[in-house]
A and B are shown apart, each in its own frame.
Chain A
Amino acid sequence: MNDYQEKSNYIKKLYEQQSNLDQTIAHQMMSSEKLAFATSQWRMMWRKFIRNRTAVIGGIVILLFYLVALFADFIVPYTLQQRMTQYSFLPPQRIHFFYEGKFQPFVYGIKGSRDPNTLMRVYVTDPEKRIPIRFFIRGEPYKLMGLFPANIHLFGVEEGIVSLMGTDGQGRDMFSRVIIGSQISLTIGLVGVALSLVIGAFLGVYSGYFGGWIDNLIQRIIEIIRSFPPIPLWMALTAALPSHWSPLKVYFAITVILSLIGWTWLARQLRGKVLALREEDFVMAARLSGASNWWIITKHLIPATFSHIIVISTLSMPSMILAESALSFLGLGLRPPLTSWGVLLQQAQNIQVLLLYPWLLMPGFFVAISILAFNFLGDGLRDAADPYTV
């Protein structure tokens, strides 16, 4: 027998022995631990996500924020522009929940006067006067979600004032204004992200999948846009908005301006992802089976980038919210009567105000919370989606 026949026989024998062994082992493995992994990507993502506590808390906070924003006009006791001039710059009131051992929320009455030396308004609580807080109370009329006329508020008082976060210089309730302002602050991010998603996803997937000179062009445009510092760019663009535009027009113009930079991020990320996916053998397999570009993009590439799209959208929310706040704070974004957190913060622009009426900073607190929550949620989603990429 010659050398290599000998060898082949030897290898064959080896193969047979091992393969029998291997099959039994493989079988045993399949039945126990391996089965645990036989699940879809989405379910695995979800499982990983809910184990991340900060991310879940972030998600719940955001959900709560959006729920509150949706029913804002119902939740607050006053409307956006309702002035109670006798109570200007009222500090936040203390809410008492129990009276004589019974659950019976109330606030004390307020008496305003002027300090004879400084001429500042000072408020003293009147412990004699208990003002009970009533639930589902009839109050100022409003339109729920801008559609349904109503006048029932979640809570309120029949006389005096209930002000959880104090009032501003014109006696408007800060709590009501912050909650209603969240509608714009939170949706401008959503609309902006949605807009950048559409542009970014289309251009990113196209760029990555087809390559060539169009890809080159898109990449150069992205680089040019991103070589501008964003805040001055936004400022220049918003400053150019005609001042006679209606608030709604301004609102949409701002979202467009914000997504002008937002899409570049998404497009870059998706392009990179698609570039890598394009080289995967399963894409080649589909193509060699006769799949069209459309088939490959919709059946393989988009589903594979879906988790990235969600993660990137979540992670780009904070910068949108922050940008809107910054622009409005500087007086370049939304203008009253449109009210967002940024617009509200305009009142807190000088140090004297901050020292005397620190509660006017409350909108900033809400901005911070929402941004933190979005970041926590986004980080958690990213870790759950794909620990190696994004």
Chain B
Amino acid sequence: MKINNSKDQNNNIILEVKNLTKYFPIYRGFLRRVVGNVQAVDNVSFSVKGGETLGIVGESGSGKTTLGRVILRAYEPTSGDVFFRKNGEMINVFSLEGSELKKLRRDMQIIFQDPYSSLNPRKTVMEIISEPLLIHGVSRGEELKSRVGELLEMVGLNVQHMNRYPNAFSGGQRQRIGIARALALQPKLIVCDEPVSALDVSVQAQVINLLEDLQNELGLTYLFISHDLSVVEHISNRIAVMYLGSIMEMAPAHQLYQLPKHPYTEALLSAVPTIDPHTRRIRIILPGEIPNPSAPPPGCKFHTRCRYVQERCKKEVPAWEEISPEHWVLCHFSKNLHLQGIESIKV
């Protein structure tokens, strides 16, 4: 767990997401009529400070990847805005087109979950890492080669392996190649989309350590996506918990772990395994299934599975509120509930 020690907090905001919504239309039939929408990201707002790591956790299908990709303009948003700080000014990411957008892409990069799909098997490491540099015409020839060498060194790979193909590398090494590619254009913000989920536990720690080192050296800002609370815990300053396309709760990591304010967070924390064999947490088993994201429940999306559900939850959509500094919750009763943090749930 890291403490963000930047002083001037408000001026330091690098990314601001406002009421961001992304629906994927569902087509049917010969004429491809739109018969519904997958509400992958639904009215999400938050901001990220320069140099910090915002962890985003949630179950599979909760919309984490979509959120990251809409911010990067991989997908066009349905509505909402994203602002990114460039040369001291907040610019609207969704208003950019053509060469402006291309320029912005140098500042925002991505690291993928799948170390296999993320590297073209037909290209050498050199070709893979130099691609962004060639697209932007940054360097060429010998200079390009030495820059790629530098990047390889930065991620802890052997420079001599530059001319090998991805199939010569292990999962962890491939992930390092992906990181080197993301770093090539010297970005400020990197969306790390479950960068270690596909790796062995032992390798996971190495890659996370590398990401942390790079962040310290280069002053990077991370949006760190994971489905696993124990992975984001180490690397995040703040954590946002997603459920069915909405952020349910967002707070500094320590606070979220100790004093969760949303019943869904409480349930997730109860599922984090314990190390000590003599202790066991009382697992809160969520009743029912995750609702279909194309037909989320009315009112609070979580009400169908909430232990503390009230009549109001079924009708009224809760507001996204900052109930204490830096602690945002999407729940009608967050102030009344006394929820269990990670420590106290112990037999």
Contact = CB atoms under 8 A, between A and B. Distances in A.
Nearest to A277: B120
A39 B124 CA distance: 9
A12 interface: yes
Nearest to B342: A4
B74 A284 contact: yes
A290 B106 CA distance: 8
B168 A304 contact: no
A351 interface: no
Given A282-B120, A291-B135, A19 B202 contact: yes
A285 interface: yes
Interface string A222-239: 000000000000000000
B165 A22 contact: no
Contacts of B346: 3
A40 interface: yes
A40 B114 CA distance: 21
Contact of B185 (A10, A15, A38, A289): A289
Contacts of B203: 19, 22
Contact of B205 (A16, A213, A216): A16
Interface in A298-314: 299-300, 303-304
A120 interface: no
A285 B113 CA distance: 12
Interface in A1-58: 2-4, 6-8, 10-12, 14-16, 18-19, 21-22, 26, 29-30, 34-35, 37-41
A304 B122 contact: yes
A61 interface: no
Contacts of B167: 37-38
Contacts of A129: none
Q: Which 7 pairs of residues, A with B, have the shortest CB-CB distance?
A: A15-B205, A18-B202, A38-B168, A289-B132, A281-B118, A290-B102, A7-B275
Contacts, number: 125
A365 interface: no
Interface string B50-82: 000000000000000000010011100000000
Nearest to A286: B131
A12 B205 contact: yes
Given A3-B279, A289-B132, A8 B234 contact: yes
A39 B165 CA distance: 6
Contacts of B118: 281-282, 285
B12 interface: no
B342 A3 contact: yes
Interface in B168-216: 168, 170, 172-173, 178, 181, 184-185, 200-206
Interface of A: 2-4, 6-8, 10-12, 14-16, 18-19, 21-22, 26, 29-30, 34-35, 37-41, 213, 216, 280-282, 284-291, 295, 299-300, 303-304
A282 B181 CA distance: 11
Among A15, A216, A289, A304: residue with most chain B CB under 10 A: A289
Nearest to A20: B202
Q: Which of A35, A282, A303 has the most CB of B within 10 A?
A: A282
A3 B270 CA distance: 13
Contacts of A21: 202
A3 B122 contact: no
A146 to B, nearest CB: 40
Contact of B202 (A2, A15, A40): A15
A290 B132 contact: yes
B18 interface: no
Interface string B237-275: 000000000000000000001000000000000001011
Contacts of A289: 105, 109, 131-132, 135-136, 181, 184-185
A42 to B, nearest CB: 9
Contacts of B291: none
B321 interface: no
Contacts of A35: 168
B117 A34 contact: no
Contacts of B165: 37-41
B145 to A, nearest CB: 18
B276 interface: yes
Nearest to A220: B30
B33 interface: no
Contacts of A11: 205, 230, 275
Given A3-B276, A289-B185, A300 B120 contact: yes
Nearest to A36: B168
For B109, B131, B257, B279, the residue with the greatest tally of chain A CB atoms inside 10 Å of its CB is: B131
B92 to A, nearest CB: 18
A284 B275 CA distance: 38
Contact of B117 (A2, A4, A281): A281
A291 B131 CA distance: 9
Contacts of A22: 172, 200, 202-203, 206
B112 A281 contact: yes
B40 to A, nearest CB: 16
Given A3-B346, A19-B202, A289-B132, A282 B74 contact: no
Contacts of B132: 289-290
Given A8-B234, A40-B165, A284-B69, 18 more contacts: A3-B276, A3-B279, A7-B274, A10-B275, A19-B202, A21-B202, A26-B170, A34-B168, A37-B165, A41-B121, A281-B117, A281-B118, A285-B118, A286-B135, A289-B135, A289-B136, A290-B132, A304-B120
B119 interface: yes
Nearest to B1: A8
5 contacts: A29-B170, A34-B168, A280-B120, A284-B112, A289-B185
